[in-house]
Structure 1
């Protein structure tokens, strides 16, 4: 090629040999690509960009500069003997604009995908009826949203300790439970960590733990409702990860929806608990006792009916607040002295009922332990005010048809009145006096 004939052209002209090496180039292209282009393979200078073919894609192709991602030419190739001639014109503006347009389309596509993911997660959250199920849904949704290698959901207990409820935490073996809790407590907004320095700056043990676990990046968000943090979720990556501008808002949306549902699940659980438990002692109430009683083997059932002695004097002399304190202490002592298989409930006022799977001998032994425990001193009561217990016991009697829990409660209640009528602080078993013990 006679370069002199083409040096004045406002476009580039390049001759290539059969191996696609540049054997000649006019002045325009040498200025554009550099004088060292001669003798080099074309691929060291220009590479086709398949996404930017012209209308037909047959005659010209966009080619980007290898060493400068924002420079490109539009090239037309023609065979020439054993090689080819390439005519190029600068198309950097078009290339950059197209690249930005493609990035915009890609971002819009990711946004649509993430919006659909949020909608799907919201629907799934609404069906969750437990904290565990909600956490499983959140862990799966977060992992899918970010393409994470692992994800985990941590919830705080009543002592503000963080516990993993769902997902996998790759830092478990590298970071103490106390350090995980401390890191979770200080998380009040979405955080992304992509380097050891960022990890060290966020939590003392985090950087070393990530390095030890092979975690290269993470994103985490708090589950907050009305300023109260209920837990956190985190996604972990074992490869370098760059988070785009949508990563934070997506995490906030997922965390916000999950937190609202979590608060609703907890409120529902509290309401259900309140409906079946006594507010003062937190023992099952009469309604819950009826539900539990239906599951008891009535043929082996025994009922212990407890009525406090001296409780009215406490209320009259010291007030209902102290009376409530007595009831709470009574509940604690009863819990401590019954078996795991026994059921205890506050029946009303200062009355308590224990349902046992026991014969007469075992039920009487349990009643004796309870009477003794309730008769012990109450440290917060002044001298002269004593609390004890009159107890009635009724045992299922197959031969006489005494099987229903309701019937047993009535019989035990009558036996309790017999014990109280004999001076209190003693036990009576279905018409048979057992004594004060």
Structure 2
């Protein structure tokens, strides 16, 4: 078995383009807020989703003219109180009187504008440790928050995380955590109106690793490839998919410039051909087939994948570790 270092642990946050495919999300979110409201009836309760850069307010228990929080609001992550929650230890964050908290001085202007002075933030964590977001309860005045209320909201958040886990399983690859084929087809059925590019990736030299060291080591390599792809798409507008085996797809959204896509393809080639000394012996790299699709048209994924596969075949035939446009 090969022994090599991974770059880091992969953490995948659930984006909005995945949530829209979840069954009964709106209905269950409403039920979760109603249960929390019964526990803390005098507070505004809301659900959020977090990314590395921003917080999205998903659902409110009710409209509140006194508190400047609205559904669909997007807040920079460094400008939100929820960013102070200890997600690693799944610990609630409690501020009974925010006006007395000196460590919130950098958020004071935003808190005054929102008219919030009491805050309870409960982390929503998936079973694999990934962060979804928060369940929050706020008030315009300083308010006591008892332990019973905190415990109840933690249980409610946990129930919601179970639902998210079940939905997530339908659209994620169990080995790598990337999106699966089902998500890709669902996306093109409902959301592919902005145009973009499909990059069909196939690893070069991967079969040798499986043959010599077994599938357990091969799985470790696939997870590392997935990590690098996920880090790549987090820097660009798109998402990564594992089709199966050592085949992957990257969908770049709203990007149709061949020049820009070529630059990104070169970056991918570099990221997936640089390994430690043990893997270098296998000449592990990637070949890429690229197909563009226009905005505003009925883009059939089956056709796009076939065309991208044809381009991939030409990239392989030209010596591998390269890319070709369809």
Alignment deviations for residues 12-57 of structure 1 (CA, whole Å, 9 cap, x no partner): xxxxxxxxxxxxxxxxxxxxxxxxxxxxxxxxxxxxxxxxxxxxxx
Cross-structure match for 1:366: 264
Q: Does 1:418 align with 2:318?
A: no
Q: Does 1:141 align with 2:41?
A: yes
Q: Scaled by the length of structure 1, what TM-score is found?
A: 0.44
* Conserved? CA contact 1:345–1:354, under 8 Å: yes
- After superposition, residues 75-94 of structure 1 pair within 5 angstroms as none
1:174 to 1:278, Cα distance in 2 relative to 1, 3 A: same
Q: Does 1:351 align with 2:247?
A: yes
Cross-structure match for 2:205: 310
Q: What is the aligned-residue RMSD (CA, Å)?
A: 4.4
Alpha-carbon shift at residue 170 of structure 1 (Å): 0.7
* Conserved? CA contact 1:345–1:353, under 8 Å: yes
1:407 to 1:233, Cα distance in 2 relative to 1, 3 A: closer
- Extract unaligned runs of 5+ from structure 1: 1-126, 145-153, 178-219, 224-229, 242-247, 431-437
Alpha-carbon shift at residue 231 of structure 1 (Å): 9.8
Alignment deviations for residues 91-125 of structure 1 (CA, whole Å, 9 cap, x no partner): xxxxxxxxxxxxxxxxxxxxxxxxxxxxxxxxxxx
Instruction: Report the Cα distance in structure 2 between the residues aligned to 1:308 and 1:370, rounded to whole angstroms.
Output: 12
User: Which structure's relative contact order is higher, taking Cα pairs within 8 Å and 6+ residues apart?
Assistant: 2
Which of the numbers 154, 164, 185 marks the counterpart of 1:290? 185
Larger Rg: 1
Alpha-carbon shift at residue 281 of structure 1 (Å): 2.0
Instruction: Report the Cα distance in structure 1 between the residues aligned to 2:207 and 2:34, rounded to whole angstroms.
Output: 47
1:141 to 1:305, Cα distance in 2 relative to 1, 3 A: same
* Conserved? CA contact 1:308–1:388, under 8 Å: yes
* Conserved? CA contact 2:37–2:43, under 8 Å: no
Instruction: Report the Cα distance in structure 1 between the residues aligned to 2:180 and 2:208, rounded to whole angstroms.
Output: 24
- Extract unaligned runs of 5+ from structure 2: 1-26, 45-81, 105-119, 124-133
What secondary structure, in the 3-state scheme, does the structure 2 residue paired with 1:141 have?
Answer: coil
Which of the numbers 150, 155, 158 marks the counterpart of 1:263? 158
* Conserved? CA contact 1:128–1:134, under 8 Å: no
Which of the numbers 382, 385, 389 marks the counterpart of 2:286? 389
Which moved further from structure 2: 312-321 or 333-342?
333-342
Q: Does 1:159 align with 2:56?
A: no
Number of residues of Structure 1 aligned to a counterpart in Structure 2: 234
